[in-house]
Amino acid sequence: MCSAAMSFSGEAVFRAVEAPLFWLGALTAAWLSLCTVYRLLSGFRVWVLGNGRLLSPAKLGKWAVVTGATDGIGKAYAEELARKGFAIVLISRSQEKLDDVSKAIASKCGVETKTIQADFSAVDIYSKIEGGLTGLEIGVLVNNVGMSYPYPEFFLSVPNVDTFIDTLVNINITSVCQMTRLVLPQMVERKKGAILNISSASGMYPVPLLTVYSASKAFVDYFSRGLQAEYKSKGIIIQSVLPFFVATKLSKIRRATLDKPSPERYVASQLNTVGLQTQTNGYLPHAIMWRRSSTRCSLAHADGRSVIFFVLKLTQVG
């Protein structure tokens, strides 16, 4: 009797919860399906359709300003923006390289170019840069100039660490703030413009042995996203760009691959994300790598030794 009663009671409970559980499961499956479809459509919009038509002098302004413009990603930005019809202001340390890149762009793309020689490791250069930019309708600013460690190293073992800190902060952080200060007011006045701040995937989480570099790139990321929240309503696009490795002198990668693209390939992809993503990896394989590495990084942070091995594998710098 007791066993039969318990069996009947169990069946009654099951029948009572069967329908609610079914609908809970169905709603959960529907929600997950909708989220998946939304992500696929968003990915298609960003990585396939893109937003390249936004970047034109008619929509943003005649001139594009690029810092660190004579090599690597900076040079690729200058060339790609020139192909889109922008007149180009090149800012970098070597006047000889500036002249070479300026002549090549003017000859190849048929646009106006202007050079400003400036060493971003110094802090007394911005009045000169401001003078060079006076009177120009600036539609795009690419804050690209940057430096990293010569090789992964513990903080106190970095050669000439006191000078290294000042130099890296001036190049990676101060330049972004000061160049934005110079260019943003006229963009706000015209209610249009785009500022692309080149951070790094290493700024998306702590990177031991590249600690100062990683922290400086985290600053650029947070600065960009905070500033976008402040000025989005005024018609300004401010984007944080966080690439993984690109085949440049800075990364010490000589040969481009699918996951380590050439600067030209990376920049062509990244410019299609402007106006679509406030924070972007800029390149589909890098976006996929971020999804994977964020999980691995969380696991690696379970203990300190794992972090070191994770970083050495991630950086692939010997």
Every domain of the chain and the residues it spans: 1-49, 50-315
pLDDT at 2: 54
How many Cα atoms are found within 13 Å in the side-chain-facing hemisphere of 271? 25
144 and 68 in contact (C-beta within 8 Å)? yes
Select which of 149, 213, 231, 283 is catalytic. 213
pLDDT for 31? 80
Q: How far is CA 192 from the centre of its chain?
A: 20
Query: Position 228: which residue type?
Result: Q
Looking at residue 284, its pLDDT comes to 86
Q: What top-level class would CATH report for the domain 50-315?
A: alpha beta
| pTM score above 0.85 | no
pLDDT value for 101: 97
> For every one of its 318 residues, what pLDDT tens digit does the chain have, with 9 covering 90 and above?
555 555 556 677 667 777 777 777 778 877 877 877 766 776 666 666 667 678 899 999 999 999 999 999 999 999 999 999 999 999 999 999 999 999 999 999 999 999 999 999 999 999 999 999 999 999 999 999 999 999 999 999 999 999 999 999 999 999 999 999 999 999 999 999 999 999 999 999 899 999 999 999 999 999 999 999 999 999 999 999 999 989 887 777 778 888 889 999 999 999 999 988 899 998 888 888 877 766 555 555 545 554 554 455 454 433
Query: What is d(CA 246, CA 257) in angstroms, rounded to the nearest whole number?
Result: 9
Rounded to whole angstroms, the Cα distance separating 219 from 205 reads 11
Clarify whether 213 is annotated catalytic. yes
